[in-house]
Structure formats: structure tokens, C-alpha cells
Amino acid sequence: MAILLLLAFGEGMKRQLDKNRRSTGENLAVMWMGETTKPWKGLPPGRPIRTTIDDIQFLADRMPELKAVHGEINSGRTNLTYGRKTVNARVIGTNYVYGEDRKHYPVKGGRFFTIDDEIQRRRVVFLGDELARDVFGDGQPVGKTILLNNAPYTVIGVMQKKTQMGVYGGPDSNHGVIPISTFKAQFGRERLSVLVIEVKNGDDMKKALAHVYQLLGGKYGFDPTDDRALPTWDMVKSGKVTKNITIGIQVFLGIVGALTLLIGGVGVANIMYAVVKERTREIGVKMALGARTRWIIAPFVLEGLIYTLVGGTLGILVATLLVTATSFIPIEGNKVLSFLGRPTLSPVIGVITAAILGVIGLLAGYFPARRAASIDPAATLRYE
């Protein structure tokens, strides 16, 4: 029961943390605007690098190996007004691929903006779920008009609720998203806050980033090896670190559970030693009549296996019932379960537990049995 519960907790946490990590996006790299730290072709260090909206298409045309590239312009705090209610929130101008890149999936009845919305500079806005609730309460936002800094926008979608482990610029649930072309028209800004690339395969990220630095380094005049010119969050690299951490936690929990089983195995072995001692005269008679060693060992090994089988079966049943019971606990509004996940049993956990139980049962019966088989028959017959 102990090892199953510990490994189920570790498995549930691993799956939930992986889901939380992927909810921000997969195979992405986020680049902020920085300053050069190296001189380059006579230019001094300390120069600011500021990419613009044009750089999005600039990279897309020259890097066909990318799955997508988009830019983001952050407005900081912007007034969103509906009726008599005004909420101060972040508004991001970005490209239509942002919806898929950043897992902004709409609830039923809504949508994310399309390439046509971006080309035609439509005044449409996609809201995070918490922001939508702040503005509209329990009402239905899709199709309604809100004022964004006194400019009318149509709400076309609301993001599905998601739990994030890694964010930049704040949780996705608290911001609104509009086409980058519309953002430029209203706010008059074209300098990007961040530039984001998505690769088709995570293993290609390092090569893709080097290509980005080379292209933008040539355009803006900075050393392509100067990683401070465009400080970067490589989500592929950080994802591997997170995965290793969760594996380490699982291994630790498995070791703790295995040690618990080992202690149980010692208890079974002590019982078997007591059984051997109790049957000393019986063993001596069998050996005096010509019983072979394996005839003496086999019943004790079988008895040890039966002890662990019965105890293990009961433990598995209790652990399964407890894990199943957690599935009835509502995860909505439960911050612990939404971040750490529900305990989850998997076939791998079952196989591992059964293997450990089998080994412990075998050892718990074998060593007392070997001791029984090594007893001198003459000594056993005199044993009281």
C-alpha cells in the first residue's frame, strides 16, 4: 500500500507538472529586448536592441525550418470598460499564430482571431478566463462589445481555464489579446516586447536560436554570440530540467516505498524463522528419512510467497480504493490538486510493485528455508 500510494502520488505529480509546463507552449523560445555586452565591428557595447513588427516576417521568410514565429507588444495596464464597470488589465498585441503557440484555446462558442482579423485590423479581443469573469461576472462575454481605452472591441472568445507552471509577463488568464496590426493602429507602437519562435522538433532549438541571432545580429549590428543582446528563455531546455526533477522525485518516492516494503519483508522473514524453529523436529525426521534439500526449502519459500501475496493483495486493494476515492474530490478551485495533480496508478507502477513484492517474498522464505535445510538431523531430533 505504501509503495503504491507513493508512486501513484509521484506519477500524478509528474503528469500534472508536465501538463502545467506545456500549457504555456511547447518547443518555444522567448526573446526579450536587451543590450549588447560585446563590441562588434567598431560598435561599442551597451547599445539597446529593439526589434519591430517587421522582424516577424523577416525571420519567417528566412527560417522555413521554424514551425511558427510571432511577436508580442505589451500595453502594460489598459482600461477595459463594459457598461459602468472598468477593469485595468494587460492587453497584448500579437499575431494570429499566438493562439495555437500559447495554447489559448477558446471555450465553447468562441474563437481566437484569424489571419483575416490581423490583415484587416479588426477590433476583436480574446479574453483570459479570469479577466472575462472580472469584466462580465457570470455573464456570457462572446459577442458583446467592450471599450478598450475608449475604443470599441468585440469579444470573440474566452480562454479555457488552465494551470500554468511557467509564465512570462503574468498569467494568461489575466490578459486580453488583440491583433498586432490593430494594436499598432490604436497605440501607435511597433517595437516588440518579446519575440517568440516555435520549432518543429525540440532538438532543433539550439540551432534555430543560433540562426536567429545570426540574422538579427546582421540586421541590428551585434555579435551573434552575444546572448545578452536578446535575453532568451529556452522552454525546451527548461522543460528537460523540469522532467529530470520530476523523475528524481519519483525515484525518491519509489526508494522510500521500497524501503517500507523491505521492512515488511524483514517482518515476514522473522515469521519464517519462527516457523522453522517450530518445525525443527519435523525437519529432522524428514531429513533422516532421506528428504532432499529442495524438498525442505520449497515449502518454506512457498509459504513466504503466500504471506507476501496475501498482504500485497490487501495493500493493492486498499491503495486502489484510496486513489480511486481521490478522483471524486473536485479539482475546480482546489489549488493543491490543480498544481500537483491527482494520485494516478499506472501499469508500470503495478509491474514495479509486483516485482518488488515477488523478490521480497522469495528472499523472506528462502533464507529461513536454507537455514532449515542446513540443520543436522541428529541435532534436530534432540531439539526440544
Torsions phi, psi for 109 (to 5 deg): 100, -5
374-378's contacts with Cβ under 8 Å and 24+ in sequence apart are 375/280, 375/283, 375/284, 375/287, 377/284, 377/285, 377/287, 377/288, 378/284
User: Which residues in 267-300 are b (16+ Cβ under 10 Å) and which e?
Assistant: ebbebbbebbeebbeebbebbeeeeeeeebbeeb
pLDDT of residue 333: 64
DSSP secondary structure, 217-282, as one string = HHHHT--TT-TTSS-EEEHHHHHHHHHHHHHHHHHHHHHHHHHHHHHHHHHHHHHHHHHHHHTHHH
Within-domain flag for 224: no
Domains contained in the chain, number: 1
Within-domain flag for 250: yes
Q: Are 14 and 254 in contact (CB under 8 A)?
A: no
pLDDT of residue 384: 52
pLDDT of residue 46: 94
As given in the structure block, the three cell numbers for residue 139 are 455573464
Within-domain flag for 295: yes
pLDDT of residue 283: 75
Q: What is the mean pLDDT for each group of 10 consecutive residues in the chain (384 residues)?
A: 82 82 90 94 93 96 95 91 93 96 94 96 96 92 94 96 82 94 94 96 94 95 94 92 85 81 77 76 76 78 79 84 83 68 77 76 76 70 57
**Domain around 284:** 2-17+239-381
Within-domain flag for 375: yes
Within-domain flag for 84: no
Within-domain flag for 283: yes
Whole-number Cα distances in Å, 24 to 16, 63, 100, 128, 247: 13, 23, 10, 13, 21
Within-domain flag for 35: no
Within-domain flag for 354: yes
As given in the structure block, the three cell numbers for residue 197 are 519562435
